Chains A and B, each alone.
Chain A
Amino acid sequence: MKNLASFAICVLLASCGASADKVTVKIDGSSTVFPITEAVAVEFQREHKDVRVTIGVSGTGGGFKKFCVGDTDINDASRMIKDKEIKKAKEHGVGFIEMPIAYDGLSVVINKDNNFVDFLTVEELSKIWKVGSQVRTWKDVRSTWPDVEMKLFGPGVDSGTFDYFTEVINGKPGACRSDFTMSEDDNVLVRGIAGDKNALGFFGYAYYVENRDSLRVVPIDNGAGPITPTMETINKGTYAPLSRPIFIYVSEAESDRTEVKNFVHFYLDHAPELVKAVGYVPLPDSVYVRDRKRFDDKVTGRATTGG
């Protein structure tokens, strides 16, 4: 008994030290935005050794729950703030500055060995994914395709990715058939689709880029001909409607603190290169300039409709 207690105390003492009087920038939110914010935080702390940045991954909604009551300084969000969340923020006197910081191109992917799918139209996607969809085989989607069963994969219903996809494809966030394999971990989806010849699924562009060898991306036709997601088509907005902006929300009250201000400036200055480095698509430069002006002028409320 005594031994164990003294062991525990030793452990505590051993892990003491370092970082006592650092100021902290507290961030939480979407796991989709996490890699970008992490990259910015790492680079930022190289230059500002007296600041500590912490980043949680409670998800966009979970993050807003903390942000809207003033627990965090910045929220990573893979969708825009909802009316309900704005109301909550107002109740707690939290003002927010919304800043789009990158694009994510939701990629619809199939197995490498699938050789009959050339492209999909938005209508066909909706036919596959809508609530109560009758699509069971590839033939149900297009009559010239083979009569083999289709296996569907998608992100979990709590993710911003799922909300966005269902909104633009099925017309309402969250409206979707439920008989598909879902996982919060995109790598699980990648493995599932890579291992099943008849699979179809969707997830963020970065995961497609890293797994080009085992997956094939499907060009999407929104009326102007099939477009393949690439850095360029996503950045220019021609890969529609599946390119979506992702955001950071900065608390207005906290934006006066030097470390928060420095961090946001650093974020916007280095976003183009760092966003690309972690596999996402940078916004046009003008958007970062506009972001910065909004931040410096403390323009609160919703920023944009899109990028």
Chain B
Amino acid sequence: MSWLDTANLNLRKRRRRALYFKSICSLFTWSCFVLLAVLLVHVGHKGVGLIDVDFLRNAPSWRPEDCGIWPAIAGSLWMMGLTALISIPCGVSAALYLEEFAPKNRWAHLIDVNISNLAGVPSIVYGILGATVFVRFLALEQSVLAGSLTMSLLVLPVIIIASREAIRAVPSTIRHAALALGATPWQTVVHHVLPTALAGILTGVILALSRAIGETAPLITIGAVAYISDAPAGPMDSFTVLPLQIYSWTTKAQSEFQDLAAGGIVALLVFLVIMNGIAVWIRHRAEGNAN
């Protein structure tokens, strides 16, 4: 066998391996898709029929036919809004400081490691922290504000990490150019770095908020209620959220409530899709502006 034949054989082997690898990857991709489709069809089949104006407008009840999900929707909206207001400014500022201004010393490194670790802490731990600090110590009681602050803690590491990635990806030539033309560091950041990184930052923010909207455990710990008849009237009001309402229905004995839970899940999914849709839209615009 000449060296050419051996090389050919090798090539064929390598090509075949590449093909295997490609097939396995696409198999996994599609099986994820199939799983999602099965879930959507299953839940949709049970839940979509239940969703009507009354379901969206009513409060939960012990009679399945009277049940609605309005307090949970309003609670989730409140919590998302407040969490966004608190966590986005904090998270993005922290990321900017760490990337653009902080000296690269041992302290910065320590903070760095800590933030990465915090992103992996189980959510219930944040619940306990929130119950101690916000509910008790700051006496915010079982309010939307206490819940939002807890959720902000939960999502902050994710927002910081994602924002830093985005800021790091901004070519340093842009900074150099701005500074060379006499811009202050502040102007450089506000006019050049931030707009360029915006799309990436928003992706991180939306991922983080989507996580927050599905959390139940920390909110039970801080005292979000399982039954409430109306929407919160202010940030100091008691509240419930969609996942908690869904959980409360799934644990009931009567099978009608299991169907209601499916309806609740559909509502939650729609919520998520709308949120992601808005994010995509904002991103699109941001990208357009940046270019």
Are A and B part of the same complex? Answer: yes
Residues of B at the A interface (CB closer than 8 Å) are 59-63, 66, 74, 77-78, 80-82, 84-85, 88, 92, 141-142, 194, 198, 202, 205, 220, 223-234, 237-238, 248, 250-255, 258, 278, 282, 285
On chain B, the residues within 8 Å of A26 by CB distance are 238
Give complex CA distance A24, B232 in Å. Answer: 12
Quick check: A20 and B202 within 8 Å, CB to CB? no
CA distance A184 to B235 in the complex (A): 31
Select from chain A the residue with minimum beta-carbon distance to B66.
A42
Shortest beta-carbon distance from A156 to chain B in Å: 12
Chain A hits for B252, CB < 8 A: 35, 187
Minimal Cβ-Cβ distance residue in B for A65: B131
Determine if A18 and B230 form an interchain contact, defined as CB atoms under 8 angstroms apart.
yes
* B254 contact set on A, CB distance < 8 A: 210, 279
B61 smallest CB distance to A (angstroms):
5
- A4 CB–B CB distance under 8 Å: yes
Give chain A interface residues in 1-39, CB to chain B under 8 Å. 1, 3-5, 7-9, 11-12, 14-20, 24, 26, 28, 31, 34-35, 37-39
Q: Is A209 an interface residue (CB 8 A)?
A: yes
- Bound CA span A52–B227, Å: 10
Question: With an 8 A cutoff between CB atoms, is A152 at the interface?
Answer: no
**Residue of chain B at shortest CB distance from A56:** B225
Closest to A45 in B: B229
Is there contact, CB below 8 Å, between B253 and A206?
yes
22 A–B contacts from the bound complex (CB under 8 Å): A4-B88, A4-B202, A5-B85, A8-B80, A8-B85, A9-B81, A11-B77, A14-B77, A15-B81, A16-B233, A17-B233, A19-B231, A19-B232, A19-B233, A34-B226, A42-B61, A53-B229, A55-B225, A56-B225, A57-B248, A210-B255, A274-B62
Out of B80, B92, B205, B238, name the residue touching A24 (CB < 8 Å): B238
Given contact pairs A24-B238, A56-B226, A18 touches B231 in the complex (Cβ within 8 A)? yes
List of B residues within 8 angstroms of A209 by Cβ: 253
Given contacts A15-B231, A19-B231, A34-B227, contact A279 B194 (CB under 8 A): no
Q: Which of B60, B78, B231, B253 contacts A210 (CB 8 A)?
A: B253
Q: Which of A12, A71, A274 is in CB contact (< 8 Å) with B82?
A: A12
B226 touches A55 (CB 8 A): yes
The 8 A CB mask of A181-221 against B (1 = contact, 0 = none) is 00011110000000000000000101101110000000000
Are B142's CB and A56's CB within 8 A? yes
Bound complex: CA A38 to CA B88 (Å): 37
Judge whether B62 and A39 touch: CB under 8 Å. Answer: yes
B132 to chain A: closest CB distance in Å?
12
A298 on the B face (CB < 8 A)? no
Q: In the complex the two chains form, is B223's CB within 8 Å of A12's CB?
A: no
Q: In the bound complex, how far is the Cα of B194 from the Cα of A184, in angstroms? A: 47
CA distance A221 to B120 in the complex (A): 51
- Contact residue among A4, A39, A55, A56 (Cβ-Cβ distance under 8 Å from B84): A4
Bound state CA distance, A58 and B227, in angstroms? 12
Cβ of B80 and Cβ of A11 under 8 Å apart? yes
Whether A54 sits at the interface, judged by CB under 8 Å, is: yes
What residues of B have a CB within 8 angstroms of the CB of A15 in the complex?
74, 77-78, 81, 231-232
Q: Are B198 and A1 in contact (CB under 8 A)?
A: yes
Determine the chain A residues whose CB is within 8 A of the CB of B230 once the complex forms: 18-19, 52
**Whole-angstrom distance from the CB of B201 to the nearest CB of chain A?**
8
Contact A185 B250 (CB under 8 A): yes
CB <8 Å contact, B231 and A35 = no
CB distance from A162 to the nearest CB of B (A): 15
Q: Which residues of B contact A58 (CB under 8 A)?
A: 220, 223
Cβ contact within 8 Å between A20 and B77 = no
- Does A66 interact with chain B (Cβ within 8 Å)? yes
A277 at the interface (CB under 8 A from B): yes
- Contact A1 to B194, CB < 8 A, known contacts A54-B227, A210-B255: yes
Using CB atoms, name the residue of chain A closest to B206.
Answer: A4
Give Cα distance in the complex from A4 to B285, angstroms: 12
Quick check: B62 and A278 within 8 Å, CB to CB? yes
Taking a contact as CB atoms under 8 Å apart, the answer to whether A277 and B62 are in contact is yes
Residue from the set B74, B92, B226, B228 with the largest chain A CB neighbour count within 10 Å: B226
With A1-B198, A35-B62 as given contacts, are A7 and B278 in contact (CB-CB < 8 Å)? yes
B282 cross-chain contacts in A, Cβ below 8 A: 3-4
From A9, A17, A41, A66, contact of B229 by CB (8 A): A41
Please tell me if the beta carbons of A4 and B205 are within 8 angstroms of each other in the complex. Answer: yes
Question: B74 and A5: CB pair below 8 A?
Answer: no
Which residues of chain A from 247 to 289 have a CB within 8 Å of any chain B CB? 274, 277-279
Pairwise interchain contact B223-A66, C-beta atoms closer than 8 A: yes
- Give every chain B residue within 8 A of A211 (Cβ-Cβ): 253
Residues of B within 8 A of A52 (CB): 228-230
Q: Are A5 and B220 in contact (CB under 8 A)?
A: no
Closest to B239 in A: A54
**Which 9 pairs show the lowest CB-CB distances between chains A and B?**
A39-B62, A55-B227, A11-B81, A210-B253, A206-B253, A54-B225, A57-B226, A19-B230, A8-B84
